[in-house]
Structure 1
Amino acid sequence: MRVKKKDRNKKWAFLFIFSNLLLFIVFFVWPALLGVAYSFTNYSGMNATFVGLDNYIRLFQDPGFYKAMSRTFLYTALGVPFVYCASLLVSVLLVSNHTRGKTVAKTIFFFPWLVSPIVTGVLWRWMFGESFGFVNYIISALGGEPLAWSSNGNLAFLVVLLATAWAGTAFNMLIFIAALLNVPKAYYEASEIDGANGWQKFWHITLPSLRSTSFLVILLSIFGLMKEFPMVQALTNGGPGTDNTFIVQYIYQTGFAQMRIGYASAASMVLFVILLVFALLQFKFVRGGRVDG
């Protein structure tokens, strides 16, 4: 009887594994293979002719591609530490014994995670609109001059960073809170006996204990920001001009607006290779045991 029950459980396990594997092949593997194939053609939605490496050659000769890629790297380089610091600060405050109203605060800080990235972009676009924005209204009410949040590339980029931190803090906050609650209290009690202050406890106990968690948050943030599309598209539409066109916006514009699907596929493959490098670095550090909690 036990053997029959065990065999039946195995059948259900294989069924669940097969269904997930099928979905993975249909929605991930097959589109990826199509992208690789299209990157070697001049496919525009109707006909596809093999062109070899022409798409890649033209891609690496396109100043627009380098501009989009450099802007993406800048966005990631500034956004990741910004999101990391904001998430860690909020998490430390929410687990502190001196903080009051933690339940309400957690709900407020988690709310952005429940909002669609498109809604986030529209919300921040309304707040920082030049002629109708709430922020410029406050500045004018205080006697200042309204700022060109939309027509100035650097100011628009700043708004994107602020919106990214606001939207990205919630999920990372949950990860940090779980890790902070697992730090042994004995460490802090022993440091208090030695006369350590709050900053010393944070620097010598909290941060080292969050090493693996920090690595995870940073890696996920890199992936998220490198692939960011809906929030930026709704907020700036890549503007003004192409000042804030990131690599995914560049792929979207060339692939769907200009119907150069083969060329856009080549750009997608380049992005895939970059993200793969980050993934392999993660694998190397974790396997090497250099990232531990």
Structure 2
Amino acid sequence: MTVKARFERNKWPFLFVGANMILFVVWFVVPALLGLYYSFTNSDGNPGEKFIGLANYRELFADPAFYKALGRTFRYIIFQVPLLYVVSLLVALLLSNPKIKGKIIGKIVVFLPWCISGIVTGVMWKWLFGESFGFINYSLKQLGQSPVPWFSDGNMAFLVVVMAAVWAATAFNMLLFMNAIKNVPATLYEAASLDGATSFQKFWHITLPAIRPTSLMVILLATIDATKEFVMVQALTNGGPGTDNMFIVQYIYTTGFDKFKVGYASAVSMVLFMIILLVALIQLKVGGHQND
């Protein structure tokens, strides 16, 4: 078979793969290489940048603000990812139960938040928890309770951010879990029932081990998404109060676009990329050992 005939036979796969490769190069490889280049310069976003070597990285690792933003991001991951995992799995188990009625409506209700952009999510939750105009504080006043300082207290604002993020991301992870649960052989549950196993024992000894690869994927994707969280937080708290909830991506944005330190912000982006890569490799390594 000639090359031309082989191409004619497989032209559509080649075209689709080629289009994706072009998009990958244009929107990932080129910006990544530019970011790496700018991280070694004193760029302020205008032409005429000068090569300064590792100066941005030396400044970065001596900057307390960088460590504070990174620490807040890790704190967010520690709280948000486990909660998202538990909520998504519980919803998936509930909607996969054949005894539950109205599952279609339940799926629609749970899935709708995932269709909303991060900006809209932030605005909606800001309306709900606004201190002087929010629905939650209004309801508390009607019940004779004092309003809660949701956004003037750093810890309360952080709590709202976590809840909003879990609410918005549950649907996607729920779908992953539901698909994994459906693929668990029914014969395992039937055998367990004959042995007198309880529902919790079936879940703990059959369901959880069977969906372990999906659990790893959910945790990995949730961790990466949490590390890159920006739009929803920007719309909800703008990193406030003050800088109490400024995560690492907001720190990059503020440094690069507000302070015009593009070279420095690029260096932070490269460090963030390495952190995400390291986290992904660790989780994949751990998951590989669990599947052996």
Question: Per the shorter chain, which TM-score range?
Answer: over 0.9
- What is aligned with 2:137? 136
Tell me if 1:39 matches 2:39.
Answer: yes
Give the CA deviation at 1:95.
0.7
1:128–1:149 Cα contact (<8 Å) kept: yes
Q: 2:260, 2:85 → 1: CA distance? A: 37
Where 1:173 maps in the other structure, the secondary structure is helix
1:38–1:265 Cα contact (<8 Å) kept: yes
Q: Quick one: structure 1 residues 242 and 194, their matched pair in 2 at CA, closer, same or farther if it must change by over 3 Å?
A: same
- What is aligned with 2:19? 19
Q: Quick one: structure 1 residues 88 and 2, their matched pair in 2 at CA, closer, same or farther if it must change by over 3 Å?
A: same
With structure 1 as the length reference, what TM-score do the two structures score?
0.95
Per-residue CA deviation, residues 50-109 of structure 1 (Å, 9 max, x unaligned), is 111111111111111111000000000110000000000000000112211000000000
Where 2:291 maps in the other structure, the secondary structure is coil
Q: 2:244, 2:285 → 1: CA distance? A: 35
Paired letter, 2:140: I
1:255–1:263 Cα contact (<8 Å) kept: yes
- What is aligned with 1:122? 123
Q: Quick one: structure 1 residues 251 and 9, their matched pair in 2 at CA, closer, same or farther if it must change by over 3 Å?
A: same
Structure 2: 5+ residue runs without aligned partners? none
CA RMSD of aligned residues (A): 1.7
With structure 2 as the length reference, what TM-score do the two structures score?
0.95
Tell me if 1:291 matches 2:291.
Answer: yes
Give the CA deviation at 1:289.
5.3
Q: 1:133, 1:157 → 2: CA distance? A: 17
Q: 2:14, 2:96 → 1: CA distance? A: 42
Q: 1:12, 1:109 → 2: CA distance? A: 36
Q: How does 1:100-179 map to 2 (within 5 A)?
A: 100-179=101-180
Paired letter, 1:20: N
Q: How does 1:179-190 map to 2 (within 5 A)?
A: 179-190=180-191
Q: How does 1:60-99 map to 2 (within 5 A)?
A: 60-99=61-100
Paired letter, 1:236: T
Q: 2:21, 2:268 → 1: CA distance? A: 27
Paired letter, 2:255: T
Q: Quick one: structure 1 residues 7 and 160, their matched pair in 2 at CA, closer, same or farther if it must change by over 3 Å?
A: closer
Name whichever of 193-202 and 276-285 sits farther off. Answer: 276-285
Give the CA deviation at 1:20.
2.3
1:112–1:167 Cα contact (<8 Å) kept: yes
Structure 1: 5+ residue runs without aligned partners? none
Q: 2:101, 2:13 → 1: CA distance? A: 46
Q: 1:133, 1:145 → 2: CA distance? A: 13
Q: How many residues align?
A: 291
Q: 2:277, 2:98 → 1: CA distance? A: 41
Paired letter, 1:109: V
Q: 1:258, 1:3 → 2: CA distance? A: 54
Per-residue CA deviation, residues 176-224 of structure 1 (Å, 9 max, x unaligned), is 0001111111111111111111111111111111111100000000000
Q: 2:52, 2:258 → 1: CA distance? A: 21
1:126–1:133 Cα contact (<8 Å) kept: yes
Per-residue CA deviation, residues 138-182 of structure 1 (Å, 9 max, x unaligned), is 111111100000100000000001001101101000000001111
Give the CA deviation at 1:9.
2.1
- What is aligned with 2:277? 276
- What is aligned with 1:198? 199
State the identity %.
Answer: 57
Paired letter, 2:98: N
